[in-house]
Amino acid sequence: MKINIYGMGYVGCVSAACLAQDGHEVTGIDVDPVKVNLINRKKSPIIEPGLAELIRKVVASGNLKASSNGAGPADVSIVCVGTPSNRNGSLQLEYIKRVAEQIGGCLKKMASYHVVNIRSTVLPGTVEDVIIPILEERSQKRAGKDFGVCMNPEFLREGTSIKDYYHPPFTVIGQIDKKSGDAVGKLYGTIENTAVLKTAIRVAEMVKYTCNTFHALKVTFANEIGNICKAVGVDSHELMDIFCQDTKLNISSYYLKPGFAFGGSCLPKDLRAVLYKAKMLDLDLPLLDAILKSNAHQIDTAYDLIKDTGKRAIGVLGLSFKPGTDDLRESPMVELVEKLIGKGYQVHIYDHEVSLAKLFGSNKRYIEQMIPHISTLLKPSIEEVVSDAELVLVGKSNQDIQQAVAKTNGSRVVLDLVRLFSTRPEKVVHYEGICW
């Protein structure tokens, strides 16, 4: 394929050299004549292990050249220009806007279906709300009909970028249409044993930010755990080596599902114990300290969503803190229900496990002594709760609840805290998730 790459910075240079090595005809485009001259003289404009040798080889082969005078005909344009931060944290988009204008002018002259592939890191909505309008205005063509657009984030680490290019964790392609996504997918045909994930453009934009935010979170988490370990005489590196060997819960997707607040007999209690110990040791752990505050905020978010609907009769499906248990200790659903009762809402509740517990379960004493006012709101059937509700609040996932919610008619609002469905059920007209 013939490829134009805009921006010969870190990502652009590595991508250009690797694509050229894979047999594509690549033109690297940059406004800086120094970078252009260095590449055309078979030298790397950036310091990166293995890149100088690779550029020397692919320029000598004729597969890579650089230009500062615009682009020639190509199948794909890859945008790798920088998006640095402004003082307030917002992104500078002037470079990517300028490139979009340039590509739009080229598109106007092209008869073939050309794909514009954004590799620069941009926030969700940038491609659709900023870049595509510029491309369409300059080209007088329509995205998805006359030309293609993709968002294809990179996951290259300085110092190991060539290895990362050929061994990525995955390849993410946000596509405006299948034709565009297939064209970009061909760029990575030599990369084996790596999942190619095609998705919506906004999802692909957000993936890079989510990854980097999580990386920053992990560094800070490890540092705060290390600080308290040092204070109590624990080898933090040995501890974290053990911690990371749990790939069932710790290093896994298990808890990484957006939804409602956490609760139960372990997580809140143990977190409070660690924070109390830190205070005794005069340690400041701002990240760990923020966890309970953020968790409480998620309960407030759910309440605000209910309040904004204007509905007063609430049917709650699920009260214990997770499916398959009758445990109500520190259940965030109990806290939310108590708030609703306090604000004068009419509340009815169905929870199969808790109803059994009310009769003979291990939580019977807790229900009778600690939350008797809530236990009186329990109903024996889902149908009774749903039929009396203006708003159905889903706090637990199981097959019975899923079937009942799928049958609700358009007169009821459904607020889902657990993601019962991967896609919105056809009959559930008024449906909202807490964070989706």
Q: Can you give the three-state secondary structure of 251-274, one letter per residue?
A: CCCCCCCCCCCCCCCCHHHHHHHH
Query: Would residue 266 show up in a list of annotated catalytic residues for this protein?
Result: yes
Task: Tell me, yes or no, whether 188 and 75 share the same domain.
Answer: yes
Task: Tell me, yes or no, whether 27 and 154 share the same domain.
Answer: yes
Task: Tell me, yes or no, whether 333 and 196 share the same domain.
Answer: no
Cα separation values, 155 from 89, 152, 299, Å: 21, 10, 34
pTM, full prediction: 0.90
Distance CA 19, CA 167 (A): 14
Average pLDDT of adjacent 10-residue blocks, the chain of 436 residues = 97 98 97 97 96 98 94 94 94 97 96 96 98 98 97 96 96 98 95 94 98 97 98 98 98 96 93 97 97 98 98 96 85 95 96 79 77 89 94 95 88 94 84 93
Residue where a domain stops, chosen among 153, 178, 204 = 204
In a domain, 215, yes or no: no
In a domain, 414, yes or no: yes
Residue where a domain stops, chosen among 162, 189, 204 = 204
pLDDT for res 3: 98
The domain total for the chain is 2
pLDDT for res 359: 65
Task: Tell me, yes or no, whether 56 and 195 share the same domain.
Answer: yes
Task: Tell me, yes or no, whether 18 and 143 share the same domain.
Answer: yes
Task: Tell me, yes or no, whether 312 and 175 share the same domain.
Answer: no
Domain of residue 102, CATH code: 3.40.50.720
146 Cβ neighbours under 8 A, 6+ residues apart: 107, 113, 139
In a domain, 74, yes or no: yes
Taking phi first (over 0 means left), then psi (-120 to 50 degrees means alpha), and beta for anything else, what does residue 134 get? Answer: alpha
pLDDT for res 356: 72
Residue where a domain stops, chosen among 204, 220, 240 = 204
Per the structure, the complete domain to which residue 407 belongs is given by 294-433
In a domain, 235, yes or no: no
pLDDT for res 42: 98
Task: Tell me, yes or no, whether 37 and 155 share the same domain.
Answer: yes
In a domain, 274, yes or no: no
In a domain, 85, yes or no: yes
Task: Tell me, yes or no, whether 172 and 69 share the same domain.
Answer: yes
**Among 13, 80, 266, 435, the one annotated catalytic:** 266
Task: Tell me, yes or no, whether 298 and 200 share the same domain.
Answer: no
Cα separation values, 369 from 201, 351, 365, 375, Å: 52, 18, 6, 10
Task: Tell me, yes or no, whether 60 and 178 share the same domain.
Answer: yes
